[in-house]
Structure 1
Amino acid sequence: MASELHFTKGQGTGNDFVLFSDPEGVVDLSPAQIAAICDRHFGVGADGVIRAVRSANLDAGAAALAEDEGAEWFMDYHNADGSVSEMCGNGIRVYARYLIENGLAELAPGETLSIGTRAGVRDVQLNKLGFQVDMGRWKLDGGEPLVRAKNLQVARPGLGINVGNPHVVVALADDDELDSADLAYIPHLEPAPVDGANVEFVVPAEPLVRDAVGHIRMRVHERGSGETLSCGTGAVAAALATRYWAGTGAPNHWNVTVPGGVVGVRMFPAEDGEHVALSGPAELVYEGELALA
């Protein structure tokens, strides 16, 4: 394996990533190396690492190609602690821009770029916010696990939502409660999910719906990464949970404000059931060379 890694730093609403190209699948970073790269004091600093690898050259890519033979590229995503993650909604938008700007893929207006992930193939298109990702079908895991977070006085019930990776969404009373939560500490869930979960804390806007669009504010503690400025799948889960709580007549279009900006969420019917799409910006910030330990 190479002793130096050429990388690109990218971000989507403040959710930041280190990306590198390994089309043949020969660079096998260890969890410790990934954690060192993501360290914000001694490394590059990021919420995760994304390897650009051809689906044909990765065991996990076989399922993606079986689902869609056009999914040439696989998003091999790892959290900041080195653990593997199924999917990242902000990350896949940044990944799409990385593929396009490095000449690895093309995406014209109106066309679709299919990308393999461990949660299945995801389709990306250009839109006015940057990129839109069809996140596929979602699932209400249900249950009401009790969620405790530092500086929140009482435990709150959460709602389990799965959008390719697991989430628990918690409704709070107001902005003061949301601001007071200390998400540097891992929220405590009872019962604890076997594979862990991202935990989103949500406050509805007042009014909740304006011009047929729902508005919520969210903070998140991401499994394996801690509190992040944004979480794409978390924004999707938060919008789905809020629509569920709001009941009949709730909109299918949502704007979710996170510390790093605003993303859009849209629910729409498809042949295999309801899908949900995520829209938002994606930027490549800088490139560099990194010596690997």
Structure 2
Amino acid sequence: MSTVAFTKGHGTGNDFVVIADPDGGLELADEQVAALCDRHFGIGADGLLRVVRSRALLDGAEAAVAGAEWFMDYRNADGSAAEMCGNGIRVYARYLFEAGLVPADAAELRIGTRAGVKTVTRSENGFEVDLGLWRTESEDVLVRARGLGVARPGQPIDVGNPHVVVALASEDELAGLDLTVQPQLEPQPASGANVEFVVPADPLVQGGVGVIRMRVFERGVGETLSCGTGVAASALAVRHWAGAAAPDRWSVEIPGGRLGVRVVTHDDGEHVLLSGPATLVYSGQVALAG
């Protein structure tokens, strides 16, 4: 049975197994990823980050051309591949710095993902990632969740991966959700979606910053303490609902802490940026199943 070195990290409680595979020689089956992420028989995590050079992957060819040396091969806890992870990419950046894989004084990192190349910079509370252009759909998705008496309309938001955001009326509704059961979407998106439930603060805008609370069910994982792209999607949905006077800066409270969101306009349109902490907890060796 072979063993690999790993590091455990998290961003506001959204936790990951990080495995360095610079030259792309490690092939992890879905079952092996699921075993590593299992909270009873494995290390335990919401997902796995494989640290690999872009040029070593077919998926990373465009990233390599775009100047992104490193590619974040992100896998959900069930082993399935995902396009992006907002908390994961900050942990990934932290790992690159701590492992000496990038210059310690690098002003920014360009990291390849299945949702394109993302730029990560240091911020006051850790790292900030430009998630790029975002878009919303005009058609609502009907969302049914245990703990809600009736189905609610959800707003589709794409920030490189798909989300459906549902507004709730009160803190009690948010607390009463049972997210041990996967919410049902109608129509069901072809590739599934993360589902966020949000409650705006009262007042919504405080000191020029929008404030909301959120819980999330991540596809391929279940409820997590935090979801970076879900935080961005939630802020964007509430901003969309609030109209033209809504702020471009947001503070989002999740069970694992608090993350910041900014919306900035570039020549190609509106970009959404996510900021927050990234922590490496411990390192070790683990046997691979199979």
**TM-score when scaled to structure 1?**
0.97
2:287 aligned residue? 291
Q: Shift of the alpha carbon at 1:112?
A: 1.2
CA distance in structure 1 between the aligned counterparts of 2:200 and 2:227, rounded to whole angstroms: 17
Check if 1:133 corresponds to 2:129. yes
Please tell me the residue identity of whatever aligns with 1:81: D
CA distance in structure 1 between the aligned counterparts of 2:172 and 2:105, rounded to whole angstroms: 43
1:246 aligned residue? 242
Sequence identity, in percent?
62
Check if 1:177 corresponds to 2:176. no
CA distance in structure 2 between the aligned counterparts of 1:176 and 1:82, rounded to whole angstroms: 34
Of 174, 182, 188, the residue aligned with 1:192 is 188
Please tell me the residue identity of whatever aligns with 2:35: A
Please tell me the residue identity of whatever aligns with 2:195: V
Of 235, 255, 261, the residue aligned with 2:257 is 261
Check if 1:103 corresponds to 2:100. yes
* Residues 194-273 of structure 1 mapped to structure 2, 5 A cutoff: 194-273=190-269
How many residues are matched?
289
Check if 1:161 corresponds to 2:152. no
1:32 aligned residue? 31
Please tell me the residue identity of whatever aligns with 1:94: V
Partner of 1:182: helix, strand, or coil?
coil
CA offset digits 1:149-176 (Å, max 9, x no partner): 0111010000000000000000000010
Partner of 1:233: helix, strand, or coil?
helix
Q: Shift of the alpha carbon at 1:107?
A: 5.0
RMSD over aligned Cα atoms: 0.9
1:107–1:125 contact (8 Å) kept in structure 2 = no
CA distance in structure 2 between the aligned counterparts of 1:186 and 1:25, rounded to whole angstroms: 34
Partner of 2:61: helix, strand, or coil?
helix
Q: Shift of the alpha carbon at 1:105?
A: 1.0
Unaligned runs of 5+ in 2: none
CA offset digits 1:212-247 (Å, max 9, x no partner): 000000000001010000000000000000000011
CA offset digits 1:88-122 (Å, max 9, x no partner): 0000000000011000112537x111000000000
Unaligned runs of 5+ in 1: none
Please tell me the residue identity of whatever aligns with 2:179: L
Check if 1:76 corresponds to 2:65. no
Runs of 4+ in 1 over 2 A off after TM superposition: 106-109
1:132–1:280 contact (8 Å) kept in structure 2 = yes
CA distance in structure 2 between the aligned counterparts of 1:141 and 1:79, rounded to whole angstroms: 25
1:6 aligned residue? 5
CA distance in structure 1 between the aligned counterparts of 2:105 and 2:241, rounded to whole angstroms: 38
CA distance in structure 1 between the aligned counterparts of 2:100 and 2:132, rounded to whole angstroms: 26
1:108–1:126 contact (8 Å) kept in structure 2 = no
Please tell me the residue identity of whatever aligns with 1:90: N
Q: Shift of the alpha carbon at 1:199?
A: 0.2
1:41 aligned residue? 40
2:83 aligned residue? 86
CA distance in structure 2 between the aligned counterparts of 1:175 and 1:90, rounded to whole angstroms: 24
Please tell me the residue identity of whatever aligns with 1:279: S
